[in-house]
Amino acid sequence: MSTDRELLELAAKAAGYDYAKHGGYIVVDGIPGNWNPLVDDGDALRLAVDLRLQVECMAFQSAARNFKNDCAGCVDHSAEQKYPGRDFTPDKYAATRRAIVRAAAEIGRAAP
């Protein structure tokens, strides 16, 4: 499993953003900022739209699929963790953002 920083680096790569290694911030359109789709709803939505991800919010899980319909990002959310060992957060919004970032990271991982 990747760290949050690794996920953000790969997601930025997938979206075509430059990840500035110095300082740990993302440069979007030449402007350094605090781009973080793991915590910002707007950043996560823009990432999903830019990468044409299909996002599903179900009763106990959020998922994001790429254009090949691969379920690259799945995060469980419910009152309690039902499947130990899987990505989990009880916050359905955080779970959805993480699913988007995980799907984007898989796209970034596969990119040259």
Sheet holding 54-57, edge to edge: 54-57, 61-65, 71-76
pLDDT score at 21: 59
* b/e 85-98 (16+ beta carbons within 10 angstroms → b): eebbbeebebbbbb
pLDDT score at 38: 93
pLDDT score at 85: 64
pLDDT score at 79: 64
Instruction: Output the CA–CA distances (angstroms, integers) from residue 6 to 12, 49, 90, 96, 98, in the order listed.
Output: 10, 21, 22, 18, 13
Q: What is d(CA 108, CA 103) in angstroms, rounded to the nearest whole number? A: 9
Q: Which domains does the chain have, with CATH numbers?
A: 4-110 (3.30.2120)
What residues in the chain have per-residue pLDDT under 70? 1, 20-31, 68-72, 76, 78-86
